[in-house]
Structure 1
């Protein structure tokens, strides 16, 4: 399966606050918040949702295409992605703006406060997926957080081309209108959200839970430490537990890693439960590192984790595919 991953490509500035955000918030002063956090560390890492997902897919030898907009400062990052199996041919290079910046503070409870500077990402709408598809026939288009107009355009192009698409609006739900959310979700083969985003999506779209399931093939909701829930209309939900006892260094990119593992396993024709198990195992690798692309796919380690957490049968389903990566 050839997957095009559309969305953000960014440089992450990751900071760690040794306290708890909740302790700094005064309930009777929430209308006048003015806070500054003295952080202990600053890590500058490669990131962006689309780049993170493509990195994971590349490590699993899926040869993904990355379709996002960057600035002239992208050269070194591009080399890194190519070295890790990502086709950067569809990437658009802006002559005017730098690559996007993600600035995030994480507290001791793994809560995060972040801001995002779009930069070149605002030009993502200039990428034409019809041209990409003509060069390299696509089997799936993943529409992840990006410039809102670009997200809508790429979803519409997927429909026009008759290519199945996955909707992953996540962080951009705060910026999307109800009409845009409905457009991005309707007809998606896969819908990805976390638990908070699932509620926000329903609020924005003015849909019930059942309304969402009426409009998508499968809805995958990540639940943090509780794992992941998989739902399809007319079927009983499937819940897969997270990998337990992982020392959390930094949660940035954990959801992106899950998507990589899940979509890889789906492309291999494996059951959805197995796909979620692989996604959770790769998520654990990211959670234990600082930076969303600081991990390496190690087939033996992944199989050992899946076997220990989900059983030998689950590992047996994955072994023929992961075994080829060694």
Structure 2
């Protein structure tokens, strides 16, 4: 069984400014801003929603297939995926383009200034779901606008169940677009802020939206998550983290847990708890792909946290 993960691949350049932005930005000069921050700390991480989800699904023993677009600078990421034994069969290289890149500068108050270059992500519609075979489940994660719409339609046409995960791509879509995604999808997953946006843009409540899919999942950070399904709401507790170092990629780790639970026929309380645990494991490490628990360790942590065995 394979999961087709449609979404972005990106390099994340993360820099730390050893001061506070507010000390160097004059409020009365915002209209003519010209500042430079010395950032002695910098690291480059492998990221993007598709890459992060695939990484976590692989940790769980799944068989992720990434469908994404990359640029001419992708070689280091390609080598990383090869080392992880994650297939690159459906990753398309776009000439004269960069792989998507995020440049994030954080100050000592955890304020962030981010510049994002979509690069090859804008050509995600070059890929088609029917190019992949033996797919049992999919996910449409943040990507190029046209690609997200196209892949959702293609999953639905093929009869392949999939998760709609708008994430940071939400601003690209109006209410009609979002209602189409919900109508096409089998599952929808959002964080609490995205859930508010979805309701505002569609004019529908979460229970109303949940009636149109098999399950609607809303994450609420340290408050846990809720799963709306079959007229019920399952409250999923937040798994305890050994440390809270970096939330980058926690949502993607959660979504890998959802994919694994759905693919393996787990009940919703167990699926949600596994997803929560994957997010907790991730948040204790910097970057989206630097945690590396074995499947045995994940099962042990699950039993310790929730009191029963993970099949």
* TM-score using structure 1 length: 0.86
Question: Secondary structure of 1:210's match?
Answer: helix
CA displacement at 1:303 relative to structure 2? 2.6
Contact 2:4 2:137 in 1 (8 A): yes
**1:240-319 alignment, distance < 5 Å:** 240-244=236-240, 246-311=242-307, 313=308, 316=309, 318=310
Corresponding residue of 1:67: 67
d(CA) in 2 for partners of 1:275, 1:108: 36
**1:18-97 alignment, distance < 5 Å:** 41-97=41-97
Find the partner of 2:205 among 198, 203, 208.
208
After TM superposition, the structure 1 stretch with the greater mean CA deviation from structure 2, 192-201 or 243-252, is: 243-252
Contact 1:64 1:85 in 2 (8 A): no
CA displacement at 1:81 relative to structure 2? 1.4
Contact 2:241 2:283 in 1 (8 A): no
Contact 2:137 2:263 in 1 (8 A): no
More helix by share: 1
**1:65-144 alignment, distance < 5 Å:** 65-106=65-106, 113-132=113-132, 136-144=133-141
* TM-score using structure 2 length: 0.89
Corresponding residue of 2:180: 183
CA displacement at 1:199 relative to structure 2? 0.5
CA displacement at 1:148 relative to structure 2? 0.6
d(CA) in 1 for partners of 2:254, 2:66: 17
Contact 2:241 2:280 in 1 (8 A): no
Corresponding residue of 2:6: 6
Change (3 A) 1:282 1:20: farther
Question: Secondary structure of 1:296's match?
Answer: coil
Note the alpha carbon deviations across 1:61-118, whole angstroms, 9 max, x for none: 2111100000122122122113323221011100120100022345667665533211
Question: Secondary structure of 1:139's match?
Answer: strand
Corresponding residue of 1:324: none
Change (3 A) 1:223 1:83: same
**1:166-177 alignment, distance < 5 Å:** 166-177=163-174
CA displacement at 1:248 relative to structure 2? 1.7
Find the partner of 2:158 among 136, 156, 161.
161
Note the alpha carbon deviations across 1:158-203, whole angstroms, 9 max, x for none: 1111111110011011122222222222232211110001001122
After TM superposition, the structure 1 stretch with the greater mean CA deviation from structure 2, 205-214 or 272-281, is: 205-214
d(CA) in 2 for partners of 1:20, 1:229: 36
In structure 1, the gaps of 5 or more residues are 321-326
Corresponding residue of 2:142: 145
Note the alpha carbon deviations across 1:97-154, whole angstroms, 9 max, x for none: 010002234566766553321101111100011122xxx2211120000001110000
Question: Secondary structure of 1:98's match?
Answer: coil
d(CA) in 1 for partners of 2:112, 2:289: 18
Aligned residues: 310
Note the alpha carbon deviations across 1:250-281, whole angstroms, 9 max, x for none: 11001101111221122121111111222222
CA displacement at 1:227 relative to structure 2? 1.5
d(CA) in 2 for partners of 1:187, 1:213: 13
In structure 2, the gaps of 5 or more residues are none
Contact 2:59 2:294 in 1 (8 A): no
